[in-house]
Structure 1
Amino acid sequence: MTSISRLSKAVKVALLATTSAALMTSAGAYAEEQEGDGIERIEVTGSKIKRIGELSPTPVTVITGADMMDMGITNVADILNKLPSSTVGISPETSNNTIFANGLNQTNLRGLGTDRTLVLVNGRRFVAGSNGDSAVDLNTIPTAMVSRIEVITGGASAVYGSDAIAGVINIITRTDVQGVELDASYIQPEQSGGEESQFSLTAGGNFLDDKLSTVFNFTYAEQQELRNTDRDFLDNPVTSIYNPDTSEGAPARIPYEGRKPLSWINEAGTFFAGDGGQYTFGSDGAMREFDYGEGLIPGPGTNGNYCGPSCEGYDPVDYGLVRTPLERMVFTLNTDFEINDNHKVFTEITYVDYTSNGESTPVFHTWNPIMADNAFLPQETQDLMADTDMEYFNLYRIDGEFGNRTYNQDRETMRFLVGLEGSISDDWDYSFHAQRGQLKETTLWKGQIWDERYEQAKDAILVDGEIVCRDTDARAAGCVPMNLLGVNQASQESIDWVGTSAGQTAKTTQTSAGLVVSGALFDLPAGYVSAAFSADYRKEESETNPDQALIDGTIFGNSANPMKGEYDVTEFAAEFNVPLLSDMFLAHDLALDLAYRWMDYSTAGQDDAWKVGLNWAPIEDLRLRATRSKSVRAPNIGELFSPAGQTFESFTDVCDKINVELGPNDNRKKNCQASGLPEGWNPSDSWYLSNHPGSNAGNPDLKAETSNDYTVGAVYTPSYLDGFSITVDYWAFEISDAIQYIGVDTAVRYCYDSESLDNVYCDRFTRDPVSGDIVDFVQSPVNSASFDVKGLDIEGQYDIPTDSFGDFRVHVIATYLEQWQTNPTGFAEDLQVDVGEYTDPRWKAMFSLGWKYDALSLEARSNYRHSAVASNDWKPENNNYNDIPSHTVWDFTGSYAFNDDLSLRFGVLNAFDIEPPRNPYVYDGAGYYDTTGRAFFLGANYKL
């Protein structure tokens, strides 16, 4: 048997030992295979050393591709986001209002951010899913190609480099396909909206006397949009209002259930007249009094901005998406060519093309003067304005003529990898690869308008009995007057004159190469000292090219500037596994794991990462493990090179005469005077009366983040209870110099509240050398934040085979969050304790009970989120809706194999139709709770 085929067989044996029949299981089991006198080494996530026996020195959760499809999962992100150790990153449920991100599917281990979760494919990096970013878009991974997913939730920079602070997700693709396999699935929610369908064709085989093996896959998947109006609980929202009861001790805010349109703006246009009345326009364009329906919402504050459900104001429930639509095609071709018994060439080719559409309200205008001589004014409006001496009125309007604003996103990903791997000797292996991946993004904004043309077209007057635009230059340029007084009053010609679309193209390129050499160094009494040495080079490039209209800022509400940035990194790493004791009293085995990586970034400079781990099995049934590591994350291109875009902000200058005395210590006063501002200084009167110009931009001076983390755990697999195992791991992350976006108000405050002016904040703004006024600022990311996160992972499984009633399986995986603290600035007063809030509940868990009898498999599965609060800073006087109850969703699924070639999958998801908690913070899911509701799925797989 060749070295390559023996290795493949060893991997299969190892997988049987680790995954068993479970959906997810901790990889703490053992696998050994002997063939003659040879013992094979296998590589697993978390290490580049090919090991004998024990699969992982660190906690690894394994998800099998087959079980993922049995659950009705059509996207890799969907299963990862169900893990208790993970939080939803960017997804179709969370990205609708993020123009360049809609449709993305990224996961977020430990909730530490998608850029701190490293996604690998077959142990190697994959091109980023969004321009300027580093996180991988899981839409590019077809579920039919997934053999298994290995999730290591712990710092792994010493092994894999940057971005692995929170952990690593390694997606292993299938290599064992023989023949043609057709697979189709469909999910139908009980209420329409959010339907999902997927079809895939997978083909593979061996050719050229079994020297060449190939696996090809084509996947088409579609996810329909989900709107507020598609679900009863979204169509009847739970928001909040100021409490009408203003007595002492009453909470300031209370829940409000039902629709509450805005009372001062609508699609027909509304205005307030000099007689104190509010008016709007009917479908015939005639003026009439505004209908408040059930009346204005009673109470203080902004309550009067809203009215009852039948009010004819603007109702946001009618606009926007809860989940963006997603349509994708994925082509994958992987090949292995065996040169001889010891060496092979392998390739991986991926092509992905998918589209997604975000959507929001039509353009709107809240400062929209209509002059008294406007030619479209009805006679009754002219009379009203004359009677009340109005030269103009301000029209508050949602401009539905141009349709909803949509953000059409097309992403095209191409990746090609070629590699060579094999054996150098009986004890040493090598693997070399080079790859190039490229992402092309095309974004098109529809439903937009030219701001200047809108102003010109609405200002219509009569000239010689003809309605024309007032501006003569605009008339010469083709201006068509537009009637905004009522719905559907504007002519198509005027809509065409004012309406437009705009776009942006972007390109991200990743070029990398890596070499790994691994094997046995020498023999100790307890076994061989194994090692892996690696060298890596990677270059990341990104650029954006917006339309000129976006650069000039001449369309409604959108502007963008071109961006171009790049960096490269060279890395060298070494790992060692040192067996210390073996087959001794209280030392079935004891081994030391060491790893070190040196990195040289063209942007962030040199850095390093390391890991020390200890694996101890005092007896064969019990394994104890501990790791201590330093991980890093280098800033990505967007954080470094995002172009400056103008903005205007209103903020407080803490050095003025009043605020300089209100500092938390003596630093503020001392630093203000040290910067040249005399005691008793105040900004100029004009500064106080205006918003101040500045810009939002990247920060090329960013350095790498650093995480110090550790894990201590145990794996217990009692020999007297066959099929039972339990894993417990305590983990902690302490991240410093974390990259945080800082606004100008924060920068000014902490520039002067710091011990000296030598800090990351003072460079964010500029003062006039004469007046002292702040005349410019840059809002950008800085290395100011920190994270302190601790918790416990528990995973247990019990397989119970029976002779007469089939085989049973119980599996549970849970995470207890002990501590979650973050500080965006480094100042004590900004410490945020989030543990126990709905974003970071104390407990999250998955439970499954499975039964298999001959060709039939059934499973009940639940996802649990512990009860939580909206805010840990809540006080009774704030509101009366801080508590959020626990939440459990049950899925019931099954499969039946008619024969070796045909199988059927079926099930009901969210079987009890559990809605998100009826709380103003999360009634719409907020990315944490299911919004699809009860849904039915059916799938089939046929092998030709």
Structure 2
Amino acid sequence: MTSISSLTKAVRVALLATTSAALMASTGAYAAEEEDSGIERIEVTGSKIKRIGELSPTPVTVITGADMMDMGITNVADILNKLPSSTVGISPETSNNTIFANGLNQTNLRGLGSDRTLVLVNGRRFVAGSNGNSAVDLNTIPTAMVARIEVITGGASAVYGSDAIAGVINIITRTDVDGVELDASYIQPEQSGGEESQFSLTAGGDFLDDKLSTVFNFTYAEQKELRPTDRDFLDNPVTSIYNPDTSDGAPARIPYFGRKPLSWINEAGTFFAKDGGQYTFDNDGNMKVFDYGEGLIEGPGNNGNYCGPSCEGYDPVNYGLIRTPLERMVFTLNTDYEINDDHKIFTEITYVDYQSNGESSPVFHTNNPISADNAFLPDDTRQLMTDTGMTGFNFYRMDTEFGNRTYNQDRETMRFLIGIEGIISDDWDYSFHAQRGQLDETTVWGGEIWGDRYDQAKDAVFAADGSIVCRDADARAAGCVPLNLFGENQASQESIDWVSTSAGQTAKTTQTTAGLVVSGALFDLPAGYVSAAFSADYRKEESETNPDQELIDGTIFGNTANPMKGEYDVTEFAAEFSIPLLSDMFLAHDLGLDLAYRWMDYSTAGTDDAWKIGLNWAPIEDLRIRATKSKSVRAPNIGELFSPAGQTFESFTDVCDKINVELGPNDNRKANCQASGLPEGWNPTDAWYLSNHAGSNAGNPDLKAETSHDYTLGAVYSPSYLEGFSITVDYWSFEITDAIEYIDVATAVRYCYDSESLDNVYCGRFTRDAATGDIVDFVQSPVNSATFDVKGVDIESQYDIPTDGFGDFKVHVIATYLEQWETNPTGFAEDLQVDVGEYTDPRWKAMFSLGWNLDALNLEARANYRHASVASNDWKPENNNYNDIPSSTVWDFTGSYAFTDSLSVRFGVKNAFDLAPPRNPYVYDGAGYYDTTGRAFFLGANYKI
């Protein structure tokens, strides 16, 4: 045994020496020694097999926790979203107006969606970050606990199961803590707003005669809100208007620079009189002529709805958030207890509590009728109405008395995992774990009002004794207090209290998992050991929401919600094999084959499978060529399956009517309309044409799993004659079919009849009246109708350059070239969307760094590049004159200095040149793709006791 162990150690050391550059460049795999009394195997990311001297055929990027700290990163999501292979998912920068998502931090590999990106912690699943969803909230992972993050940008369902279509984020936590470690950091933007601070305490060590090993972490982090008024480029927005020049050849729309208030509504209230004038009220409630400032914006269309910056109208720049505030506390405790030399018990405990809130404008009312006998009307307003013969008017007002509407979120995550792992024999080991995770969410809407009370309170009249009361006698008996809406701050506190309210919803998500992995060497071939891993997994997901009754009844302004409860479970069995085919031969330094297969049985989507074939070939020691071909799947999540029906009203065209039935793209429409019982020349009733139509939005319990067929082909080159240099190039392709897409009723009606037959996913989305043929009900829900076809190239290179006396240099480049991005939400050729080259999916994204280390000092310059793009590939010169969006390169300069072995500081400036987003109507506010913080300085310190 000693000789085998020594030999394999030597193999490992040689492997690490020859491939260290590739591993540091994060493109091969991260090798970690597995200590046991048998054959020592190297654990390769993207696989559950522990192998001898082999790199994974799947491309992997590795980020270390130390790298994140040195970059001034306080949230795992922030570093992932900088990677060229990733796109921002839901984040504090994108979630302000998404009520139940405020503050979430999710990543989105390849831009294929957060639900198609699987996040693991130590190779195991983590409870979802929001109700009904499957994506993990990265706010629950403290940066101080991160040893490294492994990003597997390829289909990995055969190894890890559902949700891994776009890839896997595997977060490995620290085990190397001995003592107490204090860490603090602070980020201060040059302009106020968006400040960040973080403090963590990490402690660990070995106890009970070194049998018990523990790592504990407490992290407190706070991110302050960022408002549009906090940044010069947001306070002076770039929007668009219809072009006042309507001559032939002129573009229809042009950019508009500066504030652009609405000209027909404001915080004091405004109305239009029969004399043609528009009036509002001053701070004392006196009527005055509405001031348009620089005047109404000239031009066609709705330009006249806006006026110049000093106009008295409602200005949305004054409301809302560009980045939602976030305050979080994270507790983590991981332990290992050695039962004996061959077996140990391990646990992972996580508790997270964090708050965030979104914010939008106050409640508002348009076409709000005010009667001529309203008791709060100023005398001059009464006179104007008398003189012009008005018995009332429609009032347009932002009701600031009730404050801005807020959406406060409190998320509490608890996770407990226990497992046992050990050695079965010299060649085989095992690992078993069971886990329970739970997310509790509490959402409270603030700044809300009772709709009926508002109507009762604003309808104020004089009583017989001259006092002002609510007109409705029942409302008066219930305690109604009259509400003065004419001017700002005119309403009494009693009336505000009578009308205002808050409402809330609680939600719970529970994840229960268990998994067993047995891995080892099957037998020896001339080229090496055939290794295998066999696994069995069980997972149950449960979600429920419980809104307040007021939300169910729809009595709160602008908000309704329905309770939801759903669950599913899945049982999975998988096998992986690593087969060495050739070794130490001409043009075959080594050649290996990797196979993986997973069978899944969902209680909702039924049975499915995933597989993977990988080839790993090193024709010479310096060059490695790798290829994979795989099938991956994603089962629908609880929200997609079980979201409760909520009423909605839509206006749409019935394509079977007398006119539109003749306009179909083929003969299918007419034939299918007649086959459904609608005779030639049929029309809906007049009543149907003149109304919006009631239906509902809901989940779809009939959804099946999405399927992706993907492949990668790449090479890793680490020339022995140029020590410290490596470069990798990987071509990748994803073709997803039966992708889940939300379908509205207009689309469902259109494609029900344009399909080859009535047997399709669209016809079941609506119901016709048997007598009239009118569409009388519909359900807008997700269906398996979409496709994705995405291709590109990842390039990564690193060069470590040591010098004598001048320190060591390191150059690192990661880049992604997007060759193709096509999606089709319906499967019909005319709906194909080609997005590559648009600002959401630019051709090139890259991250470059140049580092220098001399003794205790480290300095680094880092750039994030986003290629020039367009707003739309379907652009035509007559559309607008702002389609082009320039490239963007944001530079960070950072450094660290170790004063002693115990104390180190880090410092730097982020976005050093204060680069704002491009001045374009589509992205001037960042749109989630460009930095909105601006130049910011950070300082951090780490002290080990």
Smaller-chain TM-score bracket: over 0.9
CA distance in 2, matches of 1:285, 1:34: 77
Superposition deviation, residue 782 in structure 1? 0.2
Superposition deviation, residue 34 in structure 1? 11
Superposition deviation, residue 27 in structure 1? 4.0
Off by >4 Å, runs of 4+ in structure 1:
5-24, 29-39
Relative to 1, partners in 2 of residues 1:13 and 1:287: Cα closer, same or farther, differing over 3 Å? farther
1:434 matches 2:439: no
Superposition deviation, residue 905 in structure 1? 0.2
Relative to 1, partners in 2 of residues 1:913 and 1:897: Cα closer, same or farther, differing over 3 Å? same
Residues 21, 724 of structure 2: 8 Å contact kept: no
Relative to 1, partners in 2 of residues 1:23 and 1:596: Cα closer, same or farther, differing over 3 Å? closer
Report what 2:789 is aligned to.
788
1:210 matches 2:215: no
Relative to 1, partners in 2 of residues 1:832 and 1:34: Cα closer, same or farther, differing over 3 Å? closer
> Matched residues, percent identical?
88
Superposition deviation, residue 56 in structure 1? 2.0
Residues 264, 313 of structure 1: 8 Å contact kept: yes
Note the alpha carbon deviations across 1:578-625, whole angstroms, 9 max, x for none: 110000000000000000000000000000000001000000000000
Give the match's secondary structure for 1:815: strand
Map 1:209-288 → 2, pairs under 5 A: 209-288=209-288
Note the alpha carbon deviations across 1:373-418, whole angstroms, 9 max, x for none: 1011111111111121111100000000000000000000000000
Report what 1:812 is aligned to.
813
Residues 27, 56 of structure 1: 8 Å contact kept: no
Residues 7, 41 of structure 1: 8 Å contact kept: no
Map 1:392-407 → 2, pairs under 5 A: 392-407=392-407
1:307 matches 2:301: no
Report what 2:341 is aligned to.
341
Report what 2:42 is aligned to.
42
Identify unmatched segments of 5+ residues in structure 2: none
Give the match's secondary structure for 1:708: strand
Aligned AA (1:817): L
Residues 34, 43 of structure 2: 8 Å contact kept: no
CA distance in 2, matches of 1:36, 1:178: 22
Map 1:133-532 → 2, pairs under 5 A: 133-464=133-464, 465-532=466-533
Superposition deviation, residue 55 in structure 1? 3.6
Note the alpha carbon deviations across 1:317-367, whole angstroms, 9 max, x for none: 000000000000000000000001110000000000000010000000012
Give the match's secondary structure for 2:522: strand
Map 1:22-37 → 2, pairs under 5 A: 25-28=25-28
CA distance in 2, matches of 1:309, 1:7: 77
CA distance in 1, matches of 2:42, 2:723: 25
Map 1:661-810 → 2, pairs under 5 A: 661-810=662-811
Residues 27, 55 of structure 1: 8 Å contact kept: no
Residues 629, 712 of structure 2: 8 Å contact kept: yes
Map 1:782-931 → 2, pairs under 5 A: 782-931=783-932
Pairs aligned (count): 943
Identify unmatched segments of 5+ residues in structure 1: none
Superposition deviation, residue 815 in structure 1? 0.1
Note the alpha carbon deviations across 1:147-203, whole angstroms, 9 max, x for none: 000000000000000000000000000001000000000000000000000000000
Report what 2:76 is aligned to.
76
Deviates more, 1:31-40 or 1:697-706: 31-40
Aligned AA (2:242): Y
Superposition deviation, residue 37 in structure 1? 10
CA distance in 2, matches of 1:30, 1:568: 32
CA distance in 2, matches of 1:225, 1:28: 39
Residues 22, 716 of structure 2: 8 Å contact kept: no
Give the match's secondary structure for 2:752: helix
Residues 363, 399 of structure 2: 8 Å contact kept: yes
Residues 668, 753 of structure 1: 8 Å contact kept: yes
Relative to 1, partners in 2 of residues 1:32 and 1:753: Cα closer, same or farther, differing over 3 Å? closer
CA distance in 1, matches of 2:472, 2:32: 85
Superposition deviation, residue 518 in structure 1? 0.3
Aligned AA (1:402): F
Superposition deviation, residue 32 in structure 1? 9.4
Residues 239, 255 of structure 2: 8 Å contact kept: yes
Relative to 1, partners in 2 of residues 1:283 and 1:680: Cα closer, same or farther, differing over 3 Å? same
Deviates more, 1:134-143 or 1:366-375: 366-375
Aligned AA (2:759): D
Aligned AA (1:943): K
Give the match's secondary structure for 2:789: strand
Relative to 1, partners in 2 of residues 1:226 and 1:788: Cα closer, same or farther, differing over 3 Å? same
Map 1:536-551 → 2, pairs under 5 A: 536-551=537-552
Note the alpha carbon deviations across 1:735-768, whole angstroms, 9 max, x for none: 0000000000000000000000000000000000
Give the match's secondary structure for 2:758: coil
Aligned AA (2:784): N
Relative to 1, partners in 2 of residues 1:32 and 1:824: Cα closer, same or farther, differing over 3 Å? closer
Residues 534, 575 of structure 2: 8 Å contact kept: yes
Report what 1:639 is aligned to.
640
Residues 33, 39 of structure 1: 8 Å contact kept: no
CA distance in 2, matches of 1:30, 1:848: 21
Aligned AA (1:636): N
TM-score normalised by the chain length of structure 2: 0.98
CA distance in 1, matches of 2:326, 2:9: 38
Give the match's secondary structure for 1:54: coil
CA distance in 1, matches of 2:18, 2:653: 59
Report what 1:938 is aligned to.
939
TM-score normalised by the chain length of structure 1: 0.98
CA distance in 2, matches of 1:498, 1:31: 63
Aligned AA (1:500): T
Superposition deviation, residue 25 in structure 1? 2.1
CA distance in 2, matches of 1:931, 1:589: 49
CA distance in 2, matches of 1:168, 1:135: 11
Note the alpha carbon deviations across 1:198-220, whole angstroms, 9 max, x for none: 00000000001100000000000
Report what 2:53 is aligned to.
53
CA distance in 1, matches of 2:11, 2:118: 23
Aligned AA (1:195): E
CA distance in 2, matches of 1:395, 1:273: 11
Note the alpha carbon deviations across 1:692-719, whole angstroms, 9 max, x for none: 0000000000000000000000000000
CA distance in 1, matches of 2:14, 2:171: 16
Relative to 1, partners in 2 of residues 1:95 and 1:489: Cα closer, same or farther, differing over 3 Å? same
Residues 19, 718 of structure 2: 8 Å contact kept: no
CA distance in 1, matches of 2:783, 2:495: 47
CA distance in 2, matches of 1:596, 1:322: 45
Relative to 1, partners in 2 of residues 1:919 and 1:587: Cα closer, same or farther, differing over 3 Å? same
Note the alpha carbon deviations across 1:408-430, whole angstroms, 9 max, x for none: 00000000000000110000010
CA distance in 1, matches of 2:224, 2:554: 33
Report what 1:131 is aligned to.
131
Relative to 1, partners in 2 of residues 1:504 and 1:107: Cα closer, same or farther, differing over 3 Å? same
1:95 matches 2:95: yes
Aligned AA (1:620): E
Residues 524, 579 of structure 1: 8 Å contact kept: yes
Residues 23, 68 of structure 1: 8 Å contact kept: no
Provide the alpha-carbon RMSD of the alignment.
2.0
